[in-house]
Structure 1
Amino acid sequence: MRNKLDWLKPADYVIGLVFTVVIIAVSIFAYRAQTALHLSRERSQVELTAKVFSKTLNQDLERAVGVTKALDLLVNQAGGQVKDFDKYGKKMVDNQFIDEVFLAPGGKMTQVYPKRAKADSGLDLFNDGAARRDSALYALKHRTPVIQGPFTLVQGGWGFAVRYPIFIKRNGKERFWGFGCAVTKVDRVLKVSNKSLLKLGYNYRLYKTVTPVAKKYTLVMKSKGKVADPVRYDFQTANKASKWYVELSPKGGWGADGSNAKILTAILVIDAMFAVFIFFAYSRVIIMRRFKKEALFDEMTQIYNRAGFDHAVKGYQWAHPDRPWTLVMIDVDDFKFFNDYYGHPAGDAVLWHVASSMNQLAHQHKGPDPIFYGRNGGDEFCLAFMGKTADQAAPLVEEFAGMKKLVHYESRKISYTLSIGYASFPEDGQDPAEVVDHADEALYAVKLAGKHGCQHYSSKEKGQQDIRSQLGFTLHELTAYNPAGLVIYEAKKGNPRILFVNHAMVTMMGYDDMWDYYRNLNRNHTRFVDPRDDERTSQVLFKIFTGPVDGQKHELRYRVVAKDGHSFPVIANVKLVENPHYGLIAYQAFIKDLPANQ
């Protein structure tokens, strides 16, 4: 009788065997890789715990150091002659973790508390014992508290001794007085540190050098459980006068959370593991690509941010160190107006339009050398014409400045202007930072000259370095402290709306503040004109408003009515200005007329 499996060919067995071996090999590799990865993460977590523990331990030790600082204060307040030391010592020892306190003028322990500690009276910290000597000398040299120990206490157990060098002033000069010392038991002062590790589920061993200059470490305390294949973390106290290290391992051993069993189970579904691994790897690529884009590109305009722009420029310069390039700094004029007057979405639309214009310019002038562009932040943008001098880039800058600056937002057409300054490498600066500064100065020169224009940096211009300081004066400073009253309003007949009034005008008219002024006049400029002069004044203003906008100043004399109802004469100087946002507006400055001129 033939075997039922005889129809299988030998090659089928070979293929099955090879496939099985591959699956087993891949599974073993995956198991080892995953367990190693988990162990690495687990050990990293333990190391982080050790770092946190070192901070907690420092806080525990600082409590003991704080007692010796109190001794320093006591000695200085007493001028070096401490009386009734037992009274002060009792308060310090009663804090539950300090066992003994000493005063050691000149290094000799002469005042001690409590009485059981008087056996140490007379000890010389500089001569009695190498550990005491080394600790005292280190503390004196570095003028810092030193924690000596651990050592065996007479009353039993392990302890630390804190040596604090005390200096006092006499006749204006500071001199070494001696030491303030405190002794504490290890298990008391490190009680919180000990509990924190046990609570987190770790076995540990804690070591310390007995003195700051010692090289050998001594065991300070340890857990009852065994420390297996520990993570070691070295650290120092805050003043670096004490060296420590701690060894940590999980109580149940590495991998005690059952992760290994989970990984073994995953071997049964190795194909699924491969799919998950591929998906995870691809997801990581997408995430990293997204992170890179977020790090280098502005979220709103989708062009380079400042970091991305700088990265692109530096990359080009590194590859072409001898090639010129021109940096253009761009600022939207009066950008705050768009946000305040139209709302932030309108301001965003303006920013997007600027970015779109730069993108359009770059695509229209593609060449062997790139054009980089980005948003510095807020309403500031930058362009870089790589491989071009300032003269070669000037036509492109002019072209960009001449592009239509009109935004269609909802049912409105919003126009805006730009201030542009540019400088080139190496003509205007020998390094990128200098080029940025000079392009920035050219930009602010445009701002200072009235905005809406472009300018190449020129170091020969008088006052070039003072541009920023001149622009440092804010609108508030220029108007709030102006002794003349100032009102800005719509230049039209009828009910011209007030757009701005300064503090001097509010005070002159007897109002409490700007809002009181607006409320009483209903933002109507003509309402404060004395009725006796109203018709004449309206006719003169209408004639000015309908005349040419030639920058000429017109002087008027009429009477105005203050808030309390009394009338007084004023001299008003009127000047018309064409504003791109409000249209025709009038600037009117007021001063009180002298009685002789009435």
Structure 2
Amino acid sequence: MTLIASLLPASQEVYRKIVFEIDDGVIGIDADGIIRLCNPSAERIFGWRSGELLEKPLEVLLPEHLRTRHQALVSNFRVGADDARYMGSRTAEIVGRRADGSDVHLGITILKTSATSEPIMIAVIRDISERISYQRELQRLAQTDPLTGLLNRRAFHDSVAGCLQERQPASSAIVLFDLDDFKGINDRYGHDAGDDVLVRFADILRGCVRGNDLAGRWGGEEFILFLPGVGSDAAVVVTDRIRALLTAADFHWKAGGTPGLTASAGVFAGGITIGSLGTAIARADKVLYEAKRSGRDRFVVAPDTEVADLVR
């Protein structure tokens, strides 16, 4: 309190009152990055007790992996022509560290000024953690099938493309599933039963895939898997296990009985790239319907000749 008062002349009492009563945090550092000014809101945002932050290095408010980069940003701003700047961008988040070690998402405006002839940099800080959480939830909802919780069609395609952009394995697999006689389940047992089947099958998919695999609801009663780094033989093992688990699943509906539920599948494996992803899915779709036409309750693997055509 005394230190802050010395930095703000008595004639600027109104400004001192604003700094101490606004909800935004205000932190001032000297040329060495030492905290010389800190209002109660900043202490609340970062979870420190009154007066504890004064005289400490600014790094105590930053996650360790961000400290070097932050120091460079501050140095560049100090010698730059701008007197004020909003930190961050539409695609980047500013993350601070609370006293308990947890992260806090921040919106920060930094300013250059001086007090008692000493240069000082001021940061005006807003806790935007709730807004970031809300935005992430909106994004999750936009990417998720509301019934099953799996990726929706667009999100699945985008996620696979992102995976292939980061790393392109020599072979990956696309597996398309279609639940057999799904319309009959709805007609005989009702749409609640049909929803139960969809949710249960989504759970089976989640239980059978690895951490880097992707599962989605392709539409209606169709589901899709992307298995990176997997050849045809391994994809077949996963496919058959999923089908067996569905057949063994127990359903008890008020309308009576447990039907023998089955699924058909089409498997494509090969050197899938971003450019050939659409073709790979089309090949899996083609052999899926061969499985449906040939009696259902089975899977068909795309012929090696089609795999060779795709990867040339």
Rounded to whole Å, the distance in 1 between the matches of 2:230 and 2:207 is 19
* Partner residue, 1:410: 253
- Report whether the alignment pairs 1:431 with 2:276: yes
- Report whether the alignment pairs 1:308 with 2:155: yes
2:161–2:274 contact (8 Å) kept in structure 1? no
- Report whether the alignment pairs 1:441 with 2:283: no
2:6 partner amino acid: V
SS of equivalent to 2:259? strand
Per-residue CA deviation, residues 398-426 of structure 1 (Å, 9 max, x unaligned), is 22222242342335423311010011232
Correspondence for 2:213 among 360, 364, 371: 371
* Higher RCO, 1 vs 2 (CA within 8 Å, ≥6 residues apart): 2
Mapping for residues 519-598 of structure 1, pairs under 5 Å: none
Rounded to whole Å, the distance in 2 between the matches of 1:332 and 1:10 is 72
Shift of the 453–459 alpha-carbon distance from structure 1 to 2, 3 Å rule, reads same
Correspondence for 1:323 among 167, 170, 185: 170
Per-residue CA deviation, residues 54-82 of structure 1 (Å, 9 max, x unaligned), is xxxxxxxxxxxxxxxxxxxxxxxxxxxxx
Rounded to whole Å, the distance in 1 between the matches of 2:238 and 2:165 is 24
* Partner residue, 1:585: none
* Partner residue, 1:349: 196
TM-score when normalising by structure 1: 0.31
Shift of the 311–442 alpha-carbon distance from structure 1 to 2, 3 Å rule, reads same
Rounded to whole Å, the distance in 2 between the matches of 1:327 and 1:316 is 13
Rounded to whole Å, the distance in 1 between the matches of 2:133 and 2:5 is 42
SS of equivalent to 2:227? strand
Rounded to whole Å, the distance in 2 between the matches of 1:10 and 1:434 is 70
Shift of the 22–421 alpha-carbon distance from structure 1 to 2, 3 Å rule, reads farther
SS of equivalent to 2:194? helix
Post-superposition shift, 1:306? 1.1
Correspondence for 1:295 among 137, 142, 145: 142
2:225 partner amino acid: L
* Partner residue, 2:92: none
1:309–1:374 contact (8 Å) kept in structure 2? yes
Per-residue CA deviation, residues 335-361 of structure 1 (Å, 9 max, x unaligned), is 111111100000000101110110111
- Report whether the alignment pairs 1:336 with 2:179: no
* Partner residue, 1:388: 230
1:409 partner amino acid: H
Shift of the 443–10 alpha-carbon distance from structure 1 to 2, 3 Å rule, reads closer
Correspondence for 1:14 among 1, 6, 10: 6
Rounded to whole Å, the distance in 2 between the matches of 1:376 and 1:437 is 12
* Partner residue, 1:487: none
1:371 partner amino acid: D
SS of equivalent to 2:251? strand
Provide the identity percentage.
24
1:429–1:435 contact (8 Å) kept in structure 2? no
Shift of the 440–27 alpha-carbon distance from structure 1 to 2, 3 Å rule, reads same
1:328–1:439 contact (8 Å) kept in structure 2? yes
SS of equivalent to 2:168? coil
* Partner residue, 2:42: none
- Report whether the alignment pairs 1:397 with 2:239: yes
Rounded to whole Å, the distance in 2 between the matches of 1:430 and 1:457 is 19
1:402 partner amino acid: A
Rounded to whole Å, the distance in 1 between the matches of 2:9 and 2:160 is 58
Long gaps (5+) in structure 2: 25-123, 307-312
Shift of the 11–380 alpha-carbon distance from structure 1 to 2, 3 Å rule, reads closer
Rounded to whole Å, the distance in 1 between the matches of 2:273 and 2:302 is 7
Rounded to whole Å, the distance in 1 between the matches of 2:7 and 2:273 is 73
Whichever of the two has the greater Rg, that structure is 1
Rounded to whole Å, the distance in 1 between the matches of 2:129 and 2:274 is 45
Post-superposition shift, 1:286? 2.4
- Report whether the alignment pairs 1:286 with 2:133: yes
2:246–2:261 contact (8 Å) kept in structure 1? no
SS of equivalent to 1:451? coil
1:361–1:400 contact (8 Å) kept in structure 2? yes
1:421–1:457 contact (8 Å) kept in structure 2? yes
Long gaps (5+) in structure 1: 1-8, 31-273, 462-598
2:164–2:273 contact (8 Å) kept in structure 1? no
Rounded to whole Å, the distance in 2 between the matches of 1:323 and 1:348 is 37
1:327–1:383 contact (8 Å) kept in structure 2? yes
2:171–2:229 contact (8 Å) kept in structure 1? yes
Post-superposition shift, 1:445? 0.3
Rounded to whole Å, the distance in 1 between the matches of 2:218 and 2:229 is 22
1:328 partner amino acid: V
Rounded to whole Å, the distance in 1 between the matches of 2:303 and 2:218 is 23
Rounded to whole Å, the distance in 2 between the matches of 1:286 and 1:11 is 36
1:440 partner amino acid: D
Post-superposition shift, 1:323? 3.4
Rounded to whole Å, the distance in 2 between the matches of 1:284 and 1:430 is 36
Correspondence for 2:208 among 327, 344, 361: 361
2:170 partner amino acid: R
Post-superposition shift, 1:26? 9.1
Shift of the 332–408 alpha-carbon distance from structure 1 to 2, 3 Å rule, reads same
Rounded to whole Å, the distance in 1 between the matches of 2:21 and 2:4 is 22
Correspondence for 1:456 among 295, 301, 307: 301
